[in-house]
Amino acid sequence: MSYEHIEPPESGSKITLADEESGELDVPTDPIIPIIHGDGIGKDVGPAAQDVLTAAAEATGRDVNWMEVYAGETAREKYDENLPDETVEAIEEHRVAIKGPLTTPVGAGFRSLNVALRQTLDLYANVRPTYYLDGVPSPMKAPEEMDMVTFRENTEDVYAGIEWEAGTEEVEQVRDFVEDEMGFDDVMHDGPIGIGIKPISEKGSKRLVREAIDYAIENDRDKVTLVHKGNIMKFTEGQFGDWGMEVADEEYPDDEVFAAPDSLWEEQDEVDIPEDAVMVEERLADAMLQWMQLRTDEFDVLAMPNLNGDYLSDAAGAQIGGLGIAPGANFGFGRCLAEPVHGSAPKRAGQDKANPTALILSGRLMFEYLGWDDTGQLIRDAVEKTIDEGTVTYDLARQREDAEEVSTTEYAETVIDNIEKLS
């Protein structure tokens, strides 16, 4: 495919779909991978992370051929728009990509450029592994107990929500319909009111839970916890739980996946869980916030609607030291777009100070999606060695008395040095 402003690399091979039913990929050893450096600190952390990921791939006998594509500020400079069609087409064509943080300008026509990419490419699972790295300051007494992966539905709930503003003709039409036609006048207070609708579907819920269960099976995880507020929102959040349990109960052999009954918490000793089976259970979202802190090591994989997944994954990130080291990726059918959890922090842009760890570890997740587990482990080990030995960027240096504060570039160079030492 030819592009207007994108320059394809001189060498490299495309990642292709090997199985149209399972979504399994055919991954060459020299893949072409699109990369968006990002806005704000993306200008600093994007190139730094790219260098680290290149070094890790080379150390494990592979050759990544990067293809820079554009969104946000760089796209406005080249295309006079925020999300050019050829950026989406390039990511769609090459199937696996990575991006830094993007800022959505006011009045740009998108709620979020990040959301637009996820929805346009149907990347329905936002996946965020949360694990502790030695040497990272944390507010928790035992942050090392956190080793959890959240699967957040990425296309519906509040991401597909429809709202009507208080005082508009449209909201009054909705109010009249709800009161007069649906008979819910007891919740329509007098005076100005804003109304919103959030859709949660069977298709969206089941494919998200299926992705989480498959991940648990493939990565030897013991449990998948469905998190929702179904005791109050019975036909949205509650149905997410019902549909998720249907997936566990009906689509997998009993000795592979165990769908826990409602009585499990009260009668756990009396429930016969098959050995080595992944257990699927349900928890309420508000209670989960405390269990995540009080019984951190009891949870493996969480699957939940969009809004619950947003705040719970951020809270999990806080337990292991903050979003500056929190990786993420978006999975679809035979597709992956890796991205860090943090934002673009424009006030730190161009200073060569920002921490690239989250983007580097997002690259680790991307490589694991490709089946390059050895490359991913090398990245984690090198990053952890660098931080544990006290070579860190300003955000971690100010929390440690024994640290050497370095720039973004110097930090990436030290990680690369450690990749060479460990490989």
Q: Find out whether 310 is annotated in a ligand binding site.
A: yes
SS3 284: strand
Residue 85 is a catalytic residue:
no
From the candidates 70, 124, 159, 411, give the one annotated as an active-site residue: 159
From the candidates 39, 157, 300, 310, give the one annotated as an active-site residue: 310
Residue 369 is a catalytic residue:
no
Chain mean position to CA 63: 25
Residue 51 is a catalytic residue:
no
Q: Are 37 and 381 in contact (CB under 8 A)?
A: no
Segments of 31-100 assigned E as strands: 32-36, 65-68, 96-99
Q: Find out whether 398 is annotated in a ligand binding site.
A: yes
Q: Find out whether 103 is annotated in a ligand binding site.
A: yes
What is residue 178's DSSP assignment? I
Q: Find out whether 147 is annotated in a ligand binding site.
A: no
Residue 159 is a catalytic residue:
yes
Q: Find out whether 114 is annotated in a ligand binding site.
A: yes
Q: Find out whether 175 is annotated in a ligand binding site.
A: no
From the candidates 229, 252, 353, 369, give the one annotated as an active-site residue: 229
Q: Find out whether 297 is annotated in a ligand binding site.
A: no
Q: Find out whether 128 is annotated in a ligand binding site.
A: yes
From the candidates 85, 176, 286, 297, give the one annotated as an active-site residue: 286
The rounded distance, in Å, linking the Cα atoms of 192 and 5 is 48
HSE at residue 362, side-chain half, CA atoms within 13 A, is: 38
Specify the long-range contacts of residues 70-74, CB closer than 8 Å, at least 24 apart.
Answer: 70/5, 70/6, 70/36, 71/36, 71/99, 71/102, 71/113, 71/117, 72/36, 72/38, 72/39, 72/42, 72/102, 72/103, 72/104, 72/113, 73/39, 73/103, 74/36, 74/37, 74/39
Annotated binding site for NADP(+): 103, 355, 394, 398
- Which residues are marked as active site? 159, 229, 286, 310
Q: Which residues sit in the known binding site?
A: 103, 112, 114, 118, 128, 152, 310, 355, 394, 398
Residue ranges of the annotated binding site for Mg(2+) are 310
